[in-house]
Structure 1
Amino acid sequence: MSNDASIDTALDTRYRDASLSVDERVEILLSQMTLEEKAGLFFQTMIVMGEGGELSEGDPVFGIASNRDYVVERRMNHFNLFGSAPKASDMAAWHNKLQELAASTRLGIPVSISTDPRHSFSENPGAAFFAGPFSQWPEPLGLAATADPELVERFADIARQEYTAVGIRVALHPQVDLATEPRWARQLQTFGEDADLAGSLGAAYVRGFQGGSFGAGSVSTMTKHFPGGGPQKDGEDPHFDYGREQVYPGDNFEHHLKPFEAVFAAGGRQIMPYYGMPVGTEYEEVGFGFNKGVLTGLLRERYGFDGIVCTDWGLVTDQPIMGTDFAARAWGVEHLTPAERMIKILDAGADQFGGEHDPSMLIELVESGAVSEERLDVSARRLLREKFELGLFENPYVDAAAADAIVGNAEFRAAADAAQRASIAVLSNKTALPFSRGAKLYIEGIAPEIAAQYGQVVSSPAEADVAILRITAPYEERGSMFENFFHAGSLDFPEDALAHVADVSAAVPTVVDVFLDRPAILAPVVASADAVVANWGASAAALLDVLSGAVPAQGKLPFDVPRSMAAVEASRPDVPFDTEDPLFRFGHGLSL
């Protein structure tokens, strides 16, 4: 019970009585909430930890206020955790202090902590975080390369245990968009190009995170980006104004809904609509977070979805991103004021404003009559229900002393390592693979001490029996650091990179391992190298286990690899497998 509640004799605290139904508890609490307390529910923004598990004073560079300001002054209680800590116990200790802060407020509504993915190999503050203390798995494209729903559910179950150990109760994932536009900047966190596979793995992901029955041990999943974010014009990302349009020249809008249907059937709790705006469809040409035809007509009415809908980040106000001055992603409604955008989002059927942290604007809209308090109550019920069903009112705290023994433990890391090996796909092989243990190895992109466990490391291709080069798929450099986190543009490798592969390959049988976050134009690499391998997040040891034949090569491509950029440019971005005469087909992968 909060300190304020203990002295407020008029407060009906029966909402804390677990013997009552969730609906009863929601109504008892909601009936006592002030407008300010209701408004605080509607905002989910980034929050940071202090060092050593302490509360934070915020981060002015990223426009993040102090923990106390958010929870006590603004009455907010939904936060996306930005960054990590070296130790899980520090994350857990911070979480408990934040819950103590929430308990000190009048109603003591507990905080819900959410997160972008944090179990893999990429660091994009707009999409994912380094694993840190958590077990490290392939990216979702790599999970898709295993084509194994049981493996994906096992991953999600382990991630659930690690999240709950530190107090994270909402996953801002899975991302079940279809990678139908080869240039698209966000496909690394998808399950690839095939709708059936994406749906099967997305459903397994939800089951693993939410558990057999939704409750105190669950992590609620926020599936994104409804109604499918893959068909981006020229593959550009709608974080930026030049990527705002989603196009459907193949009239294939409905196809992109299939993975979401599988997630709904699996019980997915929350949805995030995409930034993009549909062009040339029956729907209004405004961003999906503002789109009533999509959120109410399609999601709420056609699919009967009554869970939480949270917009993608920064649709209302021009909140800074990583110190940039990018405007709000209010595509199609740029002319509206922030207050008008907020009204349109609520009218569309969303429940929360992602990345926004100014409840006073919503309060003013209600006080002016522009938004009714009854409309707030519709979403407030959903938001409160989730907290009750997660068991946060019964016990918002975690066992900080136990966190380090759970997060990243040996069993979880072994499962993650096995998944890394299972995801690696061998695309071509003449004679180099498997290489003999003890061979002379020329390496690039691999730590010598790791390679030395598999062979004799030499300093030049001329001395080697085999060369192993680890490279990354190409992308175009853009004007800011934040833009460059989103790999976009041409899929052609630079000439100097191709020349280097050709030079090494001329001297020694060469294996090229490509971090294939987008389906790069591999034809010139395949022509030069003795073998080409793809990974989507794998350690050097996992790679060398496969290349040496210590474990079998099992991975299969989760998308087509196009033969040329001309084929990509001629393809329809909403249609899967639409590039002419691809170099490698979806599902391709050699055994060794």
Structure 2
Amino acid sequence: MTLEEKAGLLFHSMVVPGPVQQAQPAFGLASTAHMVTGQHLSHFNLVGSIDDPAATARWQNEVQELARRTRLGIPVTFSTDPRNHFTDNAGVAAAAGGLSQWPEPLGLAALRSAELVERFADVARREYLALGLRVALHPQIDLATEPRWARIAGTFGEDADLTSELVRAYLRGFQTAQVGPGSVSTMTKHFPGGGPQRDGEDPHFPYGREQVYPGGRFDHHLAPFRAALDAGARQVMPYYGMPVGTEHEEVAFAFNHGVITGLLREELGFDGIVCTDWGLITDTQIMGQDMPARAWGVEHLDELSRVERVLAAGCDQFGGEARSELVVELVRTGRVSQERLDVSAARLLREKFLLGLFDDPFVDPEHARVTVGRADFRAQGEVAQREAVTLLTNDRGLLPLGRGLRVYTEGIDPAALDGRASVVGSPEEADVAVLRLEAPFEPRPGGFEAMFHAGSLAFAREELDRVLAVCRTVPTVVDVHLDRPSVLPEIAAAAGALLVTFGSSGPALLDVVFGAASPRGRLPFDLPSSMAAVEASRPDVPFDTADPLFRFGHGLSYD
């Protein structure tokens, strides 16, 4: 291989299906054709919704044809962020589109079933394979020990033992017993655990760059990763954050030799692929918002030195980057050896061979059409959506509701009632109210930054008073969609029934409310009793908020 060909392997860029000769200005990228044939890139994160699986398969085959015509014919590995849930945040997940739709990982955790998680992963694997997606940029196995963190929805919650059990099942479903042409390789993240963020802020942004361990629980956050490595995790992604107050250097994990080589490679014995999180080298724009490179702790370094530092730390790939010329320059100037590149290139090529991409990288568009979003796949996801609904209170047995009531609703499409009740326009006219609320957060500016729900977990006073007024007027069922814990003591006391959901459609929720399905969920984390308790807790310590309103594992049922 030439130096340029090796360098191209080390970049895992983004790509949007479309004309392969057309530049991609939304991400500041050249055309797909140029990245494949000119820059020798062969790993791409597919972004955007997949609404036409056959068209996506045809486009993927076109890209593979481009790759086959290069000098070595190295096939492309396509990856994706999670696609089978409800979250649609350009920084962390993609809309389900045509794929089957299941609860968020929090909802899978609420069901406490490794068998269900493996079944989910197997279904997602088959849909990914039909589309030509061979790397899952998940699971996310950070522990939700800081309740304010904006990434909790993608986790399995607060408990290390439950997360460890579920990640083993997740990997079995995606990778299969023997990694091969029928497998989807998983990129487990975010090593060494992205949960303990200072004040719950996220290190996508400069003000959230610090991970702190006032409780001395750094090793506790490693437990799920030990389980994942034991279960055969193929790839690992370090997080953006920088450890503060530990034995490790205070630089972001992907730049951190002690964390990547000392801990992950040497102590834990991992010889798979390590790919950085997205955008550590190049300043860019996302959704019109300026985004500095997340080179926390080494912001002073130029781009060339950042690349050198990541390679020296022990990483193999640069996520979200397409700057192969920087690696070429480092080698030509003697700052990085060819031998160092060979180590990472060998890992990356080995994965392509094991996945069978060198034998046949193409997919059948007709198979994609009939497989992605198959009726039985959708049905399984919908059952899980209903079962993951978690019932916290049910005063005097208000739920399930009977048919024929006059119902006042908020946050629900009246059509989803499906004739079970009549809709009225005010609480005063109703026999019962059903309110569907989003978990509270403090809005942030910017197109991209605004997608991260951070800050206070308590409802604003005006919104809280409005909800409580409805509860005082009529018996009220309240559902709160939790993408992270919420502070709910007043609502819990006033509502006739309080439900929480982790990715369930309106019809799924109403089936539970009217008794066509029973809630089976159990909380995957504590729900704090106040923001004062949250602010006093230690972000690295699980179950550390004083006197929680509801404990991990709480949940009622109709049975």
Q: Compute the displacement of 1:527 (Å).
A: 2.1
Is 2:271 the counterpart of 1:306? Answer: yes
CA distance 1:56–1:204, shift in 2 (3 Å)? farther
Counterpart pick for 1:48 among 16, 21, 24? 16
Is 2:318 the counterpart of 1:353? Answer: yes
Structure 2 stretches lacking a partner, 5+ long: none
Q: Compute the displacement of 1:156 (Å).
A: 0.3
Q: Compute the displacement of 1:531 (Å).
A: 1.1
Matches within 5 A, 1:325-404: 325-404=290-369
Give the distance between the partners of 2:160 and 2:450, measured in 1 at CA. Answer: 28
Q: Secondary structure at the match of 2:291?
A: coil
Is 2:14 the counterpart of 1:74? Answer: no
Is 1:278–1:284's contact at 8 Å kept on the other side of the alignment?
yes
Give the distance between the partners of 1:440 and 1:517, measured in 2 at CA. Answer: 30
Give the distance between the partners of 1:392 and 1:304, measured in 2 at CA. Answer: 26
Matches within 5 A, 1:543-582: 543-582=509-548
**Equivalent residue letter for 2:16:** V
Structure 1 stretches lacking a partner, 5+ long: 1-32
Counterpart pick for 1:509 among 469, 472, 475? 475
Is 2:410 the counterpart of 1:471? Answer: no
Give the distance between the partners of 2:70 and 2:316, measured in 1 at CA. Answer: 23
Q: Compute the displacement of 1:412 (Å).
A: 0.1
1:64 is matched with which residue? 29
Q: Write the deviation string for residues 64-99 of structure 1: whole angstroms up to 9, x where unpaired.
A: 321111101111000001102321111111111110
Deviates more, 1:178-187 or 1:63-72: 63-72
Matches within 5 A, 1:131-530: 131-431=96-396, 432-530=398-496
Give the distance between the partners of 1:447 and 1:283, measured in 2 at CA. Answer: 51
Is 2:107–2:502's contact at 8 Å kept on the other side of the alignment?
yes
Is 1:440–1:466's contact at 8 Å kept on the other side of the alignment?
yes
Give the distance between the partners of 1:340 and 1:49, measured in 2 at CA. Answer: 32
Give the distance between the partners of 1:206 and 1:89, measured in 2 at CA. Answer: 27
Q: Compute the displacement of 1:58 (Å).
A: 3.2
Is 1:501–1:529's contact at 8 Å kept on the other side of the alignment?
no
Give the distance between the partners of 1:197 and 1:542, measured in 2 at CA. Answer: 25
State how many pairs are aligned. Answer: 557
Is 1:43–1:352's contact at 8 Å kept on the other side of the alignment?
yes
**Equivalent residue letter for 2:302:** T
Give the distance between the partners of 2:417 and 2:213, measured in 1 at CA. Answer: 47
Give the distance between the partners of 2:419 and 2:32, measured in 1 at CA. Answer: 47
Q: Compute the displacement of 1:496 (Å).
A: 1.7
Give the distance between the partners of 2:286 and 2:100, measured in 1 at CA. Answer: 28
Once the two structures are aligned, what percentage of the paired residues are identical? 62
Q: Structure 1 length as normaliser, TM-score?
A: 0.93
Q: Write the deviation string for residues 318-371 of structure 1: whole angstroms up to 9, x where unpaired.
A: 132222222100000011111111111101100001111011111011000000
Give the distance between the partners of 1:73 and 1:490, measured in 2 at CA. Answer: 47
Give the distance between the partners of 1:413 and 1:443, measured in 2 at CA. Answer: 27
**Equivalent residue letter for 2:411:** G
Q: Compute the displacement of 1:463 (Å).
A: 2.1
Is 2:50–2:96's contact at 8 Å kept on the other side of the alignment?
no
Q: Secondary structure at the match of 2:55?
A: helix
Q: Secondary structure at the match of 2:393?
A: strand
**Equivalent residue letter for 1:292:** H
Q: Structure 2 length as normaliser, TM-score?
A: 0.98
Task: Kindly report the root-mean-square deviation, in angstroms, between the aligned alpha carbons of the 2 structures.
Answer: 1.0
Q: Compute the displacement of 1:441 (Å).
A: 1.6
Q: Write the deviation string for residues 2-54 of structure 1: whole angstroms up to 9, x where unpaired.
A: xxxxxxxxxxxxxxxxxxxxxxxxxxxxxxx100000000000110101xxx5
**Equivalent residue letter for 1:34:** T
Q: Compute the displacement of 1:143 (Å).
A: 0.7
**Equivalent residue letter for 1:236:** E
Give the distance between the partners of 2:408 and 2:242, measured in 1 at CA. Answer: 48
Give the distance between the partners of 1:441 and 1:268, measured in 2 at CA. Answer: 49
Q: Compute the displacement of 1:56 (Å).
A: 5.8
Q: Write the deviation string for residues 448-484 of structure 1: whole angstroms up to 9, x where unpaired.
A: 1111332222222222221111110111111212111
Q: Compute the displacement of 1:121 (Å).
A: 0.8
Give the distance between the partners of 1:164 and 1:393, measured in 2 at CA. Answer: 15
Give the distance between the partners of 1:476 and 1:505, measured in 2 at CA. Answer: 24
Deviates more, 1:271-280 or 1:526-535: 526-535
Q: Secondary structure at the match of 2:422?
A: strand
1:536 is matched with which residue? 502
Q: Secondary structure at the match of 1:325?
A: strand
Deviates more, 1:582-591 or 1:499-508: 499-508
Is 2:243–2:252's contact at 8 Å kept on the other side of the alignment?
yes
Deviates more, 1:536-545 or 1:166-175: 536-545
Is 1:154–1:208's contact at 8 Å kept on the other side of the alignment?
yes
Is 2:1 the counterpart of 1:36? Answer: no
